[in-house]
Structure formats: structure tokens, C-alpha cells
Amino acid sequence: MGYEAYKLAAKFQNLTMADIVGELRINGAIPVERFGGTVTMEIPKSTGVIELVLREGSSVNTRFSPGEKVLLGVRFAKVSDVRLVNDVITLLKKLAAKFDVMYVRDGETGRNLDLNDTAWLMKAVTYAKYDFEYYFPVKRTPVRCRDVFCLCGNEFPQSIADRLS
């Protein structure tokens, strides 16, 4: 996923892939695909679709911190309603309460995320949404990241190069 997706990452330790997949299913996640050590799931909401990508220990850098680890990538389309951020934060808080979290990081800004103070994240998502919609206006809200450019009739990256030049 590229320019159309807002990305967060969370790294968990001392758990198995089955543990976190089970917890995500309890929270409404639907498995989409499993390929090697990667599991893709999604949570459809009225405000958008939360896409989850899980990578288990063999795919995660364990050189400096050995032990069983799972990396959770969370992404959602920038054209989604900004209220979807509250659903993402709620999900991450539930997972943090149950599992040992090493970090939660914003992929856009590279900043670590404090789950108790998320006002700056809401502002960052709002700015990213406005910036994206300036170049690619899309009307439909609940959409997966991969479907964004299909809805607005643009192809990436050719159209962004045309619009920015």
C-alpha cells in the first residue's frame, strides 16, 4: 500500500500468532489471506475498513530482542471518515491490555504513539485525508486501501505525477 493508506505499526512480544489472531477475531476481524508467516485480516466498520497485517517472529527482526514476537500493521484508506481513528485506537488499547506491547508507531510521521493521548494522531490523519482528497476526490467512505484508486478513476502513480506537475 502506498499513498492512499494511513499506516500504524504495533510490535508485540511473548505471544503466538494464534493468540493475537484469536483476539482479533473476537474484536470483529475477518481473515482474508494467510501466506507464509503473514496473516491479513480486516474489520469492516460504517466509517471505513481497518486492514490488519500480522507478521510472526521469523519475519520480524529479533536480532536485538530475542523471543516470540508479532508485528501488527494497521492501515486504513485516507478517504475514510476520520472517526475510524477512534475504532483503531480502541482496538489497539484492547490488544495492549491483553498482550505485552513493545511499541505502537505512526507510519506517516515515524512517531511513537501514546494510546492515552491521541489528539495529535487525529490531527495528522485529518491533514493526510485533506491532502489526499485534494488530489484524488473520492465520494464513497467505507473502502479498502486497494480499492481507492478504482473508485476515483485514477491510476497511481501516473495520475499523481500529472496532477503535481
3-state class (DSSP) for residue 59: helix
Give the position of cell 514476537: 69
Give the pLDDT of residue 158. Answer: 46
Q: Give the single-character DSSP code of 3.
A: T
Quote the cell numbers at residue 64.
536485538
What was the pLDDT predicted at 140? 65
Please give the Cα distance from 71 to 61 (Å, whole number).
Answer: 10
Q: Quick check: 55 and 70 in contact, CB under 8 A?
A: yes
Helical H runs in the chain?
17-26, 84-98, 119-135, 148-152, 158-164
* Beta strand spans in 14-85 (E): 30-35, 38-45, 48-56, 69-77
Q: What is the pLDDT at residue 95?
A: 93
Distances (CA, A) of 113 to 11, 19, 55, 63, 145: 12, 23, 20, 23, 22
In this prediction, residue 144 carries a pLDDT of: 73
Asked if residues 85 and 122 have their Cβ atoms less than 8 Å apart, the reply is yes
Domain residue limits, the chain: 5-164
On whether the CB atoms of residues 52 and 59 are closer than 8 A, the answer is no
Task: Give domain 5-164's CATH architecture.
Answer: 2-Layer Sandwich (3.30)
Q: For each of the chain's 165 residues, which pLDDT tens digit applies?
A: 567 788 999 998 888 888 899 999 999 998 888 887 788 999 988 888 889 999 876 555 545 445 568 889 998 887 788 888 999 999 999 999 999 999 999 888 888 988 888 888 899 888 888 888 888 777 666 777 766 766 555 444 444 444 444
At 27-39, the pLDDT tens digits run 999 888 888 778 8
